[in-house]
Amino acid sequence: MGRPYFLIASAAVLWGLLGVLSKGVLEAGVSPLEIAFWRAVLAGGLFLLHAALSRQLRLARRDLPLFIGFALVGVTTFYAAFVLAVAAGGVSLATVLLYAAPAFVVLAAWLLLGEPLTGQKLALVGLATLGITLVAQGGGQGITVTPASLGWGLLAGLCYASYYIFGKWVLGRYTPVAIYAVVLPIGALGLWPLVTFSHKSSTVWGLLLAIAFLSTYLAYLLYYTGLQHTEASRGVLIATIEPVVAAGLAALLFGERLGWWGLAGAMLVVSASVLANTLRRR
């Protein structure tokens, strides 16, 4: 595997840690919204420092409304919805539902960007929908399938889709470091009024720092550094090892196991993600 692919795969592994790290903090009594808040605050601080030291901290005033909008969707809502999905249904379920994002991208690109809705794209959406249905029916050990767990997981996937739409516009104008130095602090401000803060041990602070540094700051840097030297579609395909890592760690640490129907559904959802990026590459 070449260096760019290794960097992207490493980012996917770090993202795969996010669910189990979050579950560890949840089991210590910290609320999902507080976890999302500290993730945005701590990682945002790291990106602000990085941007300041590398002189990348800039933003045109005319672009500020779009950055605020993306921050509220891609950070405030996305970070909260993912941890709420983990709390409600488990790591494996939340991560699989996150990968419904490419199906949402197809629909959003049709509605917002005027991209054609071809038969292939409709088939992709149908494949993802069937996979989600099987996951919802399948359940499994240590996994709770409820309207709440499905709703939060799908909302996380919908918000994750905004990264593709926003990125298509913004990555040609700003570096990833400059983008996250702005949107993470704004996203944290959106969460702040909703958070009830709790007492945390040094172990919990260590887990929160791992979420912020490993699964956010370092993962984003590795991913975008690798992406600079390879095609975006191939990079996203490599990143689909994330749900495999997350499910494996959840099984090892928390005894989570998708049932047979759930596994079949998860494979369909990830396959839809792979096909979506293959179509984008073509």
142: exposed, middle or buried (Cβ count in 10 Å: 0-12, 13-18, 19+): middle
pLDDT the model gives residue 170: 82
d(CA 155, CA 32): 15
Taking only the tens of pLDDT, the chain with its 282 residues reads: 467 778 878 888 899 899 999 999 999 999 999 999 999 999 999 999 999 999 988 888 899 999 999 999 999 999 999 999 999 988 888 888 887 777 777 777 677 767 776 777 777 777 777 777 777 766 677 788 889 998 999 899 889 888 877 877 787 788 899 999 999 999 999 999 999 999 999 999 999 999 999 999 999 998 888 777 665 555 555 666 777 788 888 888 888 877 777 777 777 777 776 666 555 555
> pLDDT per residue over 257-273, tens digit each?
777 777 777 777 777 76
How far apart are alpha carbons 41 and 188 in whole angstroms? Answer: 6
* Residue 199, number of CB atoms within 10 A of its CB: 8
> Is beta strand 257-258 parallel, antiparallel or unpaired with respect to 140-141?
antiparallel
For residue 248, what are its two tokens?
């494996």
Q: Would you list the domain boundaries of the chain?
A: 3-281
53-107 pLDDT tens trace:
999 888 888 999 999 999 999 999 999 999 999 999 888 888 888 877 777 777 7
* Residue 31, both tokens: 């609320």
pTM (2 d.p.): 0.87
CA pair distance 102, 108, nearest whole angstrom: 10
